[in-house]
Chains A and B, each alone.
Chain A
């Protein structure tokens, strides 16, 4: 089955840029989605189809996807961006979603 690998944690100072990676075999050929989950809350879609943002998501959130790595970039990080972030793709061979293990973003 398809596996997505994320770093367990990323730390970033306010105002700086956080980059969260999501690794998978030839992930560049798939559409990658990213979710933000704050403590005690449900996940929220922040980037879909590699680099599109749902309505209401700040432009500070952006995504890219190529080769074996997809990346969620959070620019000008704010304290409110502290959360867990999950990547997700659709495994077309088995017709089901696959989630990464999540990355905890800590704002220093």
Chain B
């Protein structure tokens, strides 16, 4: 069964450093998403991506964040200058984008900013 994969599983970085989180969505999906989950809190939407551009973003997704689909398979989230409060689990998801279609989530990348 096809699945969403994410690398790395755990990333430790120092405050102010740039990080890139990588995802490989399911191949025939059209919509790609990033969510984050701060420890003990709910899953929060960051951004969705369709047809090579951002289709929605939340207020969390400020200028420090960017997304890219550099080739036909990868989908990346870049945090330009990490802050302590960026420490969270980051989930990538993808969907067919049809009405009512579920989103398939990857296993997540745990980002720890020290």
A and B from one complex: no
Chain A positions within 8 Å of B, measured between CB atoms, are: none
